[in-house]
Structure 1
Amino acid sequence: MKIAFKMKLKPGFGTEYKKRHDEIWPALSILLKENGISDYSIFLDEETNTLFAVQQQNGNSSQDLGSTQIVQEWWAYMADIMETNADNSPKTFPLEMVFHLD
């Protein structure tokens, strides 16, 4: 199943967000892949600071992994540059697919 969602980046942090993801922790990448998450892309709309994420899921969603220590540490690491919930998880807003060309 392919899902999409959006998140909000704090103004002025586009370069830092990309840098942190270019250096994603290997343990986090492994956890995502081991839980069936693949083909994961995040795009930034610099005009609105909106992050648009798309991922293929064959298991848990990335948000379902929030109880793991590595994901909680990643959320804390990213909390200074993103809009987050009280537990540091990113505020996410699911998006409905309305068109797909195969």
Structure 2
Amino acid sequence: MIRKSFLIRARPGKAAEYERRHNPIWPELQQVMKDHGVHNFSIFLHEETNYLFGYLEIEDEDRYQQMGNNDVCKRWWKHMAEILVCDSPDSEKGREDILAEVFHMV
């Protein structure tokens, strides 16, 4: 299993909306993630900064990267971009900073 993590940031005043849109997450998006080998996916909010920390485990990096070509995934990114900090006003996806693992204890 490959462990991955990322940071994204909700726009000011949008953290509650971010959480609402994930509860429940679209069933078809959940299936796409499962089909692309995603497991054990959690997102945590740091309320003072609106930063969201995501952690997930994947089976294969190439298979995971292919998920971005799926129309359901693209619709979700666009749906979420309006409440996330993005690289530019016309971004189709919120800015996502990938984190490098520096420690793991089993």
- What amino acid is the match of 2:86? T
Q: 1:92 aligns with which of 93, 96, 101?
A: 96
Across the aligned residues of Structure 1 and Structure 2, the Cα RMSD in angstroms comes to 1.5
What's the CA shift string for 1:12-37, capped at 9, x where partnerless?
A: 11111111101211010000001100
Distance 1:101 1:4 in 2: 16
1:56 matched to which residue of 2? Answer: 57
What's the CA shift string for 1:75-96, capped at 9, x where partnerless?
A: 1111111022444112111111
Contact conserved, 2:81 with 2:91, CA < 8 A, in 1? no
Contact conserved, 1:5 with 1:52, CA < 8 A, in 2? yes
Distance 2:12 2:67 in 1: 27
2:23 matched to which residue of 1? Answer: 22
TM-score scaled by length of structure 1: 0.89
Distance 1:83 1:65 in 2: 22
Give structure 2 stretches of 5+ with no counterpart.
none
- In the TM superposition, what is the alpha-carbon distance from 1:57 to its structure 2 partner? 0.6
Contact conserved, 1:66 with 1:89, CA < 8 A, in 2? no
- In the TM superposition, what is the alpha-carbon distance from 1:56 to its structure 2 partner? 0.2
Aligned residues: 101
**Structure 1 ranges of 4+ moved more than 4 A:** none
Where does 1:1-102 land on structure 2 (aligned, <5 Å)? 1-59=2-60, 60-61=63-64, 64-85=66-87, 86-102=90-106
Give structure 1 stretches of 5+ with no counterpart.
none
TM-score scaled by length of structure 2: 0.86
Farther-moved stretch of structure 1 (36-45 vs 85-94): 85-94
- In the TM superposition, what is the alpha-carbon distance from 1:74 to its structure 2 partner? 0.6
- What amino acid is the match of 2:71? Q
